[in-house]
Amino acid sequence: MLHLHFGAGRLGLGLIAPAFQAPGSELMILNRAVSSANVTGSTALSPARRNELLWDNPDQTYFVQKPGGTAADRQNVQYDGFFTYEEHEVIPIIHSILEISRSKKRGVIVTASILKPENYRAVLCALNTLSQRREDGEFIGPIFFVACENTLTAQQVFEDRSLFGSMTAAIRRNVTPVAALVDRLCVGLEEIVDGSVPAVQVRAEEYASLKLELRSDTEGLVELCNGSQVEFSRHLEVEKQIKSWLVNGSHSLMALEAFQASQGDRDLKLNEFIRSTPERRQFATSVMAEMREGVAIVLRSDPHYTSFFEDVDVDDYLEGAAKAILHRFHSTEDPITRILARFRAPTSAAHTSVEAFSKRLADRVNEPINAYTSAKGAAPPATSHSLLSLVQLVASGTFIDA
């Protein structure tokens, strides 16, 4: 298959690009010539230098390594092309890729690790170019589009009103949108020297998961992704919601407590805080246990989750997930500045920053906490303590950037 990926950030390089690699596949990475600010914090490697390294690497290779790891356990990721683009340059880039591609006949997967729908115009331009050439008789296999963000689906991109001018009939006839669940803590992007050659390296935890939604119109993807790390799920939306609660929600709660307890130490890494005392280890365990119990109550009581509840042993699933997630939090050197990157002081230009952060947190913790409270007759103590930490941080004017 031919894999076109838009976005050379931590997640794109650390999870998306390597996950789809399989015997005989081709990987082409595209990134905007001038990148916008990263809402999850800056990295040690500037966007301009990252682009330069990916473009100039003679072996067309970059690396993924777990924090604290050594060169011996690096993952080598080879790509077949790297392109920077302005929006008007996408069409000739796609034409040039199709001219040299060996695997386009099997199928094309276009992925993007881009947060905002309005930034997908270049991706839609690429999809339209692929679709038109396919309709003109070029031997191009089935085309699939995956928005690799847990808060945005490919279908939502297709339906976004701001993009209606970029959506074409050819795209609708030829491209199958596919929902995805992505899960890997990619904590850094840096420059290393491999032998005598400078290269890009992503710092990412050992755990990595990318799942696609299995439907009747995506069954062909299973064969196309054979030999890759990609998995498939018929309950993808439910698993995404569970991930939001157990991973993102619990992570934020622990990070808020750590940031408050350390008196706003911006150099802190969450795993160092958790492992520093037995009491803090127990606190992290309690947050995860309370969130897991709340999630279980929601899954059993909400009819929306009936099909998942009938097909899956919920207790076993949540017990295994919670144990694995807690291990990830203990073992991954994740900077507090990355986890709480959106916890920023209000300014005249961004006067709703606290409101936005609080709403994002509430979306990830409210349902499990409310379900736990309703069932137990009392609020979960550890998670409540974390929410108090948020109040204390705001009251003291302690933010991740001030």
Task: Give how far the C-alpha of residue 192 lies from the chain's centroid of Cα atoms, to the nearest Å.
Answer: 24
**Residue 381 to residue 192: CA distance in whole angstroms:** 44
What pLDDT is recorded for position 392? 98
Pair 351, 257 in one domain: yes
Q: Which helix (H) or strand (E) holds 278?
A: helix 278-301
- 155 and 24 within one domain: yes
- What is the per-residue pLDDT for 68? 83
Beta-carbon contacts of 351 under 8 Å, excluding residues fewer than 6 positions away, are: none
- Residue 31 contacts residue 8 (beta carbons within 8 Å): yes
**CA separation for the pair 78, 219 (Å, rounded):** 27
My answer on whether 53 and 152 are in the same domain is yes
Q: Is the pLDDT of residue 331 over 80?
A: yes
- pLDDT above 60 (res 41): no
Average per-residue pLDDT for the chain: 95
**Which of 178, 207, 234 is at the close of a domain?**
234
- Mark whether 259 and 350 lie in a shared domain: yes
Is the pLDDT reported for residue 377 higher than 80?
yes
What confidence tens digit (pLDDT) does each residue in 142-172 have? 999 999 999 999 999 999 999 999 999 999 9
What is the extent of the structural domain holding 392? Answer: 237-396
CATH at 337: 1.10.1040.10
Specify if 177 maps to a domain.
yes
- Region of poorest pLDDT, from 39-48, 208-217, 317-326: 39-48
pLDDT for the residue numbered 87: 85
Per the CB < 8 A criterion, the answer to whether 57 and 108 are in contact is no
* pLDDT tier at 72, thresholds 50, 70, 90: confident
Quote the Cα angle for 300-303-308, to 5°: 65
Does 402 fall in a domain? Answer: no
Position 40 pLDDT exceeds 60: no
Q: What is the DSSP string of 29-58?
A: EEEESSPPPPTT---SS-HHHHHHHHHH-T
* 248 and 125 in a common domain: no
Does pLDDT of 399 surpass 90?
Answer: yes
Identity of the residue numbered 116: K
**In this predicted structure, what is the pLDDT of residue 36?**
59
Q: Is residue 67 part of a domain?
A: yes
Beta strands per DSSP E along 72-169: 75-78, 81-85, 108-112, 143-147
Q: For residue 181, what is the enclosing H or E element?
A: strand 180-183
178 and 278 assigned to the same domain? no
Residues above pLDDT 70, as percent of the chain: 98
**Which pLDDT belongs to residue 1?**
97
Does residue 300 sit in the same domain as residue 378? yes
**Is the predicted pLDDT of residue 185 greater than 90, yes or no?**
yes
pLDDT tens digits along 256-273: 999 999 999 999 999 999
Q: So what's the pLDDT on residue 71? A: 84
Do 336 and 265 touch, CB atoms closer than 8 A?
yes
Give the per-residue pLDDT at 220.
Answer: 93
Q: What per-residue confidence (pLDDT) applies to 155? A: 97
Q: Using the structure block, give the residue that is written with the tokens 């509430």.
A: 362
The answer to whether residue 39 scores a pLDDT higher than 90 is: no
Domain count, the chain: 2
Is 384 contained in some domain? yes
Phi first, then psi: what are they for 217, rounded to 5°? -90, 0
| Residues 118/120/128/232 CA torsion (nearest 10 deg) | -130
Q: Indicate if the pLDDT at residue 42 is higher than 70.
A: no
pLDDT tops 70 at residue 233: yes
Within a domain: residue 362?
A: yes
pLDDT for 92: 97
pLDDT attached to residue 69: 85
Look up the pTM and report it: 0.91
Nearest-angstrom CA–CA distance, 221 and 209: 17
pLDDT at 44: 82
Asked whether residue 221 falls in the same domain as residue 354, the answer is no
> What pLDDT does 37 receive?
55
363 within domain boundaries: yes
Residues 37 and 147 in one domain: yes
Same domain? 95 vs 218:
yes
Same structural domain, 80 and 212: yes
pLDDT band at residue 12 under the 50/70/90 scheme: very high
Helix or strand run (H / E) with residue 97: helix 90-100
**Other Cβ atoms within 10 Å of 141 Cβ, number:** 17
Q: Does the structure show a pLDDT above 80 at 199?
A: yes
State which of 205, 234, 263 marks the end of a domain.
Answer: 234
Grouping H, G, I as helix, E, B as strand and the rest as coil, residue 118 is helix
**pLDDT at residue 402, rounded to an integer:** 78
3-state secondary structure string across 186-253 = EEEEEEEEECCEEEEEEEECCCCEEEEECCHHHHHHHHHCCCCCCEEECCHHHHHHHHHHHHHHHHHH
Q: State which of 218, 234, 250 marks the end of a domain.
A: 234
- Of 42 and 312, which is predicted with more confidence? 312
Q: Do the Cβ atoms of 147 and 156 come closer than 8 Å?
A: yes
What does the pLDDT look like over 336-375, one tens digit per residue? 999 999 999 999 999 999 999 999 999 999 999 999 999 9
Q: Of 272, 270, 338, whose CA–CA distance to 43 is shortest?
A: 338
115 and 66 together in one domain: yes
User: Rounded CA gap, 54 and 35, in Å?
Assistant: 15
Residue 214's domain is classified under what CATH number? 3.40.50.720
pLDDT digits (tens, 9 = 90+) for 271-302: 999 999 999 999 999 999 999 999 999 999 99
